[in-house]
Chain A
Amino acid sequence: MKGKFQREVFKIGAVDTVVYTAGKGDPVVFFHGAGTLDGFDFTEAWVDRFRVIAPYHPGFGESGDDPEFSSLQDYVMHYLELFDALHIDRFHLVGLSMGGQLAAMFAAAHGHRVKKLVLVAPSGIVDPEHPTLDILAIPGEQIPGLLTSDFSVIQKRLPEKPSLDFVADRYRETTTFARLSWEHPRGDPKLMRYLHRLKTPTLILWGDEDKIVPVQQAQRWKELTPGAEVRVFKGAGHLVHLERPEALEAITRFLASA
């Protein structure tokens, strides 16, 4: 991450937490998913109007590790402390995939702090008929091919030949994810129980060719969070915001609307 972003490090508990920030205005926090090879440079689209805050979760990307983190609830607690350190009280919250699940958990518990909530292909729903892919069982080299419908979109972000460091970085992030979800890779039954608490304006986006979290789960989110607006984009995969410019524009418009 370079460009307009400023890198800061916050010591939260035992974890050196790396946060990229840019822009001025209402804060928008972005939670990445269970891997970081897709990056979050797309959030630059919001910099003109908002103060964008993009942290690396503990155990991912440039942030440090805490092997004691065993569930997303530990991440909720981590972010309560990080937001205190950042002196932000109310903010927009955008989450992708596992980050979407985390954002929904955060908002269900601390809804008064979230102005608007955006979930991009969130994981977490247990849907036996349309289950979330158990990516822990997928060989690492096959995962990039599952992220988008058009492979060239993600290919640009991959090294030509994966170095040992690249492989090790992916292994580390998968390890962190395994600590959270090895036993229940298809979702968190408790999450569904609390989604009705999402009273904040919520936008949910999905690509109809999502190979990781099936688009049919969008309907379940709609049922469980009656106020949410659900938008499905044709011909797009899991990283719908990278594949469809109109998906990213939809997020920007939703955040900017009164």
Chain B
Amino acid sequence: MSEAMRFNAMYFMPYVHLPENHKEFKSTWVNFPNKYYDPAKGHELYQRYLQELVLADRLGFDAIVVNEHHNTVYSMMATPSVIAAAIIPQTQNARICVWGVPPNFMLPNRLAEEYAILDVLSKGRLEVAFPLGTGMEYWSNPVNPATARERFRESLQIILQAWKEDGPTTHYGKFYTYRFLNPWPRPYQRPHPPCYIVGAGSPETIDIAAELGFGYSSVFVPQQRALELNQMLRERAARHGRTVRPDQLPLLTFVYVAETQEQAEKEYIIHLQRFFEDYARSTPQWLAPPGYLSIEQLKIRAAGADKMHGGFDFAAISKSFFIAVGTPEKVANQLGEWAERMGTNHLNNVVHVADMPHWKTVKNMTLYAEEVIPRLRPRAATATKGGTA
């Protein structure tokens, strides 16, 4: 798997019917009133999004990626395994990536079971990522953020034990006691589905990925930082005697492909702006509940947040994050260059943002699949060699 270039279609499934007065709210997360959620509109959106995910499989994307968030318009996937279960029977080849459920919000054996069911259902197409969960999730779930990292580590240990060792086994830990850890079913893939950790760059989280031999994907960190984090994972994995494969470093990108540069920008930028300004709108308090960050990380992020003030600037944000917008040739070149620089062959492409309509999503995915992927497949070998040096 580590040789070929790989292309994911990544989704958030936002609830797009924001009320007219939504700008009056400092955040569209945590305490944004759920009276604004209309289940009839939610139903229509699910129908549409599921069609788009299934289309990704037909178009030849290698994987479909879903993820979990709570109390927000940002995502309608509070339990992403349910979404995965809905698309598994409708898809043939794409790997199904639940990236993923924060283990802290589940009993670890239940999560091991849930993922095993999806893996068996899909005949081994499942991949999972373990996020700590954003700060916002700790205001929405009854779990202490001050002990979250410790609990996270113990949860992962239990899940891996449940998957790798023949049961029944026992676990006597700080947060959980299992007298009979013996989940049925077990994963289709042996010993377990490919695992990643997704995070916003806390070294504490990267250490866990290094220690357990998981992949790592940084999300919403600037390009230079993402590069450093990949390097950090390689170094720390080496201390555990592990080598990080390129496919273990999924690169989160925002992509939009159209006939011309001008057309692409005209069709896309407004939705990207709304994604950052409206759908991802949060507060410093929600982002950093007590104890969620180390003091060092709090200072780094507080200093960074000061620089972000001043509203949406497409040119600036395109330089900071991995955002590729334009003709197939330009997007392919851009992605190829980033993959090489980041030492990855695994592109995790956000193909739909905010209130982007169905036709643009289908157009974007189709052009990406038919015009971008063929340009990049031959480059894969070079990218792989370049990155692992």
Contact = CB atoms under 8 A, between A and B. Distances in A.
Interface string A157-200: 00000001001100110110111001100000000000000000
Please classify the interface of chain B as helix (H, G, I), strand (E, B), loop, or mixed, using the class held by over half of its residues: helix
A168 to B, nearest CB: 5
B302 A167 contact: yes
Contact of B146 (A139, A164, A167, A178): A178
A183 B144 contact: yes
B303 A179 contact: no
Given A168-B295, A182-B144, A182-B146, A177 B290 contact: yes
Given A172-B295, A178-B291, A179-B291, A164 B145 contact: no
B146 A175 contact: yes
A175 B291 contact: yes
Contacts of A171: 288, 290, 293, 295, 298
A230 interface: no
Contact residues of A: prevailing secondary structure: helix
A45 interface: no
Interface residues of B, number: 19
Chain A interface: which size bin?
A: 10 to 19
B147 interface: yes
Nearest to A183: B144
Given A168-B295, A178-B290, A182-B290, A139 B285 contact: yes
Contacts of A178: 144-146, 289-291
B285 A140 contact: yes
B295 to A, nearest CB: 5
A136 interface: yes
Contacts of A136: 290
Interface in A127-143: 136-137, 139-140
B283 A164 contact: no
Contacts of B266: none
Contacts of A139: 283-285
B290 A168 contact: no
A200 B204 CA distance: 47
Interface string B139-168: 100101111000000000000000000000
A174 B290 contact: yes
A172 B290 CA distance: 8
A174 B145 CA distance: 11
Nearest to A171: B298
A137 B285 CA distance: 9
B299 interface: yes
B295 A164 contact: no
A137 B288 CA distance: 12
A237 to B, nearest CB: 22
Q: Which of B284, B288, B291, B299 has the most CB of A within 10 A?
A: B291
Contact of B299 (A140, A164, A179): A164
B288 A179 contact: no
5 contacts: A164-B299, A171-B288, A171-B298, A174-B290, A178-B146
Interface of A: 70, 136-137, 139-140, 164, 167-168, 171-172, 174-175, 177-179, 182-183
The 8 closest A-B pairs by CB, nearest first: A178-B290, A175-B291, A178-B146, A182-B144, A174-B290, A139-B285, A179-B146, A175-B290
